Amino acid sequence: QVSDTLAKEGPSSPSYDWFQTDSLVTIVIYTKQKDINLDSIIVDHQDNSFRAETIIKDYSYIIHVGLSHEVEEDFSVRVVENVGKIEIVLKKKETTSWKRLGHPLENHNSLIPRKDTGLYYRKCQLISKEGVTHDTKLFCLMLPPSAHLQVPIGQHVYLKLTITGTEIVKPYTPVSDFLLSEFKEPVLLNNKYIYFLIKIYPDGLFTPELDHLQIGDSVSISNPEGNFKTSQFQELEDLFLLAAGTGFTPMVKILNYALTNIPSLRKVKLMFFNKTEDDIIWRSQLEKLAFKDKRFDVEFVLSAPTSEWNGKRGHISPALLSEFLKRSLDKSKVLICICGPTPFTEQGIRLLHELNFSKDEIHSFTA
Ligand code: FAD
Ligand code: NAD
């Protein structure tokens, strides 16, 4: 009843159907939307419980059933974009004919606001952990075969660990590996790996525990969250990225996406604020990219440099910003993304408004 009411306010409710062959069960979701892709659907099955969450704007359409028969752990997901149809193909463990898909579980066949769906977690495996700076590491986690999940650009997930009996949860923004040219990964496993750049704080609550995990240990990952939309890139000409410390993480996928998918783009500039040279994440990779792609420039600003540092110094300031934020054309379409410690981001937004950038031209990443 509740979901019916909400459905009237939000997008028109999707529907689903299922059919079977001797060996397969196909669940079809008709979203009635055209802008659906593999990022829009999150599927999990654990034991016999099957859950598929389709994200449609600010709503989620949920299929959640206790399957009537056993299926194999892995499955396939296909999206027919032009008709907004999603197909999930499960493999039967036995070739019996199913009389029904299963019994309904929580929120089954309902369209609910995303903020009300709660965080849903699945256990991932730690595959690798590599030092990037003296305190920041690149963690690779692998999704189980029983999950389909892709984290969209600009969104974060929550990682969960149980520490001495208490569940601890913190948000992290996945990065892509496009800056790591030496990187090789079997194509088949592509969407199963999720990468994170995480700074370890020795006196922190969560990160020392994460750092102590062994390869093969598990960490739970939630569904993605966040309000960044790639439509903000439409017709974009100048992209300015202001990052401080690990506030660099959302910029990685943004940089890759913008340089690959936005034909109107003339210039991407990253101003990267850190305390010292040793704190700069992927410095040589960023410099290499700037050398390779003339549209991209990077500038490092240090707040606690050694006397040898010849580059820019200080904290975010009107002088640094007004020099950096030069449009490539008089009236070019601009987007400024900003992320870092809360005081950095707040001060940055204030300065950007003083420099007459409008709300629509600024995207800030916050909790
Ligand atoms: P905490 O226990 O939170 O402590 C962190 C530091 O603050 C320590 O040095 C601690 O001593 C100090 N501290 C704690 N409490 C206080 C206090 N009251 N007063 C003064 N100092 C204090 N981080 C990343 O590394 N990578 C990411 O990709 C990333 N993505 C994020 C995405 C979002 C949306 C948000 C909101 C944050 C993100 N973060 C990211 C930060 C991350 O969520 C954690 O805050 C961070 O890892 C610290 O967690 P912790 O529990 O180890 O440390
Ligand atoms: P850090 O302490 O190494 O500082 C990096 C730089 O930030 C400094 O060199 C300075 O230029 C600037 N800075 C720090 N404190 C400042 C202040 N009070 N005023 C103005 N500028 C200041 O940073 P870190 O330890 O890497 O922390 C990164 C922060 O980014 C964390 O707080 C994390 O939660 C946040 N973060 C947020 C998101 C998100 O919201 N999506 C994503 C990733 C990281």
Which residues sit with their C-beta closer than 6 Å to ligand 1?
156, 170-173, 196-199, 201, 203-207, 246, 249, 367
ipTM score of the complex? 0.97
pLDDT at residue 2 in the model: 46
pLDDT at residue 5 in the model: 46
Looking at domain 230-364, its CATH architecture is: 3-Layer(aba) Sandwich (3.40)
* 8-state DSSP, 117: S
Let me know: does 157 contact 53? Beta carbons within 8 Å. no
Q: Is the CB of 244 under 6 A from ligand 2?
A: yes
Two tokens at 184?
């090789």
pLDDT at residue 268 in the model: 98
CA of 204 to the centre of ligand 1 (A): 7
Ligand 1: nearest atom to the Cα of 199: 25
pLDDT at residue 182 in the model: 52
pLDDT at residue 141 in the model: 97
Ligand nearest the Cα atom of residue 154: 2
CA of 208 to the centre of ligand 2 (A): 18
CA of 296 to the centre of ligand 1 (A): 30
Residue with CA nearest ligand 1 atom 43? 171
CA of 287 to the centre of ligand 2 (A): 21
User: Is 2.60.40.10 the CATH classification of the domain at 121-222?
Assistant: no
| CATH placement of domain 2-116 | 2.60.40.790
- Which H helix or E strand runs over 347? helix 342-354
pLDDT at residue 8 in the model: 52
Let me know: does 266 contact 295? Beta carbons within 8 Å. yes
pLDDT at residue 7 in the model: 46
Domain parsing of the chain, residue ranges: 2-116, 121-222, 230-364
Q: Is the CB of 59 under 6 A from ligand 2?
A: no
- State the 10-residue block means of pLDDT for the chain, 367 residues long: 50 92 98 91 93 94 97 95 94 97 97 92 96 97 96 97 95 90 53 95 97 97 95 96 98 96 97 98 96 97 97 97 95 97 98 96 94
CA-CA-CA-CA torsion sign (167, 173, 179, 181): positive
